[in-house]
Amino acid sequence: MARLLLDAAFDRPAQRSAALDRATGSEIWEAGRLHRVTPAIARAVRGWDELPDGWAPALRSARERQLLRHLQALEDLKGIGAALDRAGIAWAAVKGATLASVVWPHADMREYFDLDLLVQPAAFRDAVRIVEDVGGRLLDRNWPALRSSRRGELAMVGRHGTHVDVHWHLAVAPSVRRAFPLDVDAMLARRRRRELSGISVPMLDAEDQALHVAVHAAQAGANRLMWLADAYYVTADVAWDELARRSRAARASVPVALVLDRAYRVAGHDGVGCEELAGVASNAWGRLARSRDARHPFPGLPGDARLGGGVYAAARPSAAVSAGQLAAKHVQARLIGWRHRAGRDAVRPLQEDVPDVAAREAYFATAVSGGRR
């Protein structure tokens, strides 16, 4: 099953075996859902004469649902993007829709559920208003909690029902922004327009997109095949020296190097094809990551207790700081587990309607200043 996931994610015809034929449709669906590549599995097995019992409905449903979400997201993107352009606001589409349509080999391979838009921090308040003007609405409305959290995004819903995350920064949490000071204004200044399913959409340039994908994957634990395939595909056209330079400027060389090293190894290569980043991936923290992968080969499957990606999420410029981050994330993971078992994570406090004009103004002031206030 792990080999099937790899074949699917990297656009290879899947190898069939008697052991794999014994897997149920629900088992295949769960494994694909864990790594967000179930639609890609449907492509990978197209050459099989017939599918094992129960596979066809599960794979067909996953592919059709993703295509429907994709079309829905494109409609919301078309309306919001045109309104932002008319207002003269610098913006770019990032993550799901752009990666699925432009970076991956086929738009029906990668699952995504949200439309992520990065807007110029100074125009964030105006951008949120514009999304509302074209039929969107806010989900995050707990203004005291937002002011306290200083999150780099607001969750909204587009006119056509797509979950839209409007970012004023690519790093949502303040702690991540402090650790990796990405220059959002510079990224937006370098953006390029690309055709996305017939729509002209501004996107980050190749190096900024690769930097963002790798940092995001690291913070999420780099433990989903989708994130590693993102990192692999997005670096196809990068200028490696420039990516390495921008990674250094953002103090993100270690997480970028570790994620790309894992992505290239999982795709079947010895490692990343950049001398500087390969050297970083060979440092003490990189060797720790490789040794864990050697003991517990990637990708993990549903129910595997070793799926956590703390080593990647904790990656910082030095091994000592990384070790401290790993300890802190271990405690955080235990707290999250406790909250889940207690049923406390069913409540989404940011989406409670808590009007507070002063808190709202303070949050937008933080966003407009790029987090400096």
Q: Is 360 exposed, middle or buried (0-12, 13-18, 19+ CB in 10 A)?
A: middle
Model-level pTM?
Answer: 0.92
Distances, alpha carbon 210 to alpha carbons 187, 228, 241, in Å: 12, 11, 13
Whichever domain contains 199, its CATH number is 3.30.460
Calpha distance 216→264 (Å, rounded): 17
The answer to whether residues 135 and 229 belong to one domain is no
The answer to whether residues 21 and 96 belong to one domain is no
In this prediction, residue 327 carries a pLDDT of 82
The answer to whether residues 269 and 249 belong to one domain is yes
Residues 6+ apart with CB under 8 A from 247: 211, 214, 253, 256, 257, 277
The answer to whether residues 18 and 104 belong to one domain is no
The answer to whether residues 165 and 211 belong to one domain is no
In this prediction, residue 372 carries a pLDDT of 77
Q: How many domains, in total, are found in the chain?
A: 3
Last residue of a domain, one of 10, 27, 53: 53
By residue count, the chain amounts to 373
Q: Is 103 exposed, middle or buried (0-12, 13-18, 19+ CB in 10 A)?
A: buried
The answer to whether residues 257 and 177 belong to one domain is no
The answer to whether residues 299 and 365 belong to one domain is no
Calpha distance 87→60 (Å, rounded): 41
The answer to whether residues 249 and 308 belong to one domain is yes
In this prediction, residue 322 carries a pLDDT of 85
Question: What does pLDDT average to in each consecutive run of 10 residues of the chain (373 residues)?
Answer: 95 92 93 94 92 92 91 95 97 94 91 95 97 97 96 96 97 94 96 90 97 96 96 96 97 97 94 92 93 90 85 89 78 55 64 94 94 76
Q: Which domain holds residue 195?
A: 69-204+348-373
The answer to whether residues 234 and 324 belong to one domain is yes
Q: Output the six-digit token pair for 235.
A: 């670096």
Q: Is residue 64 part of a domain?
A: no
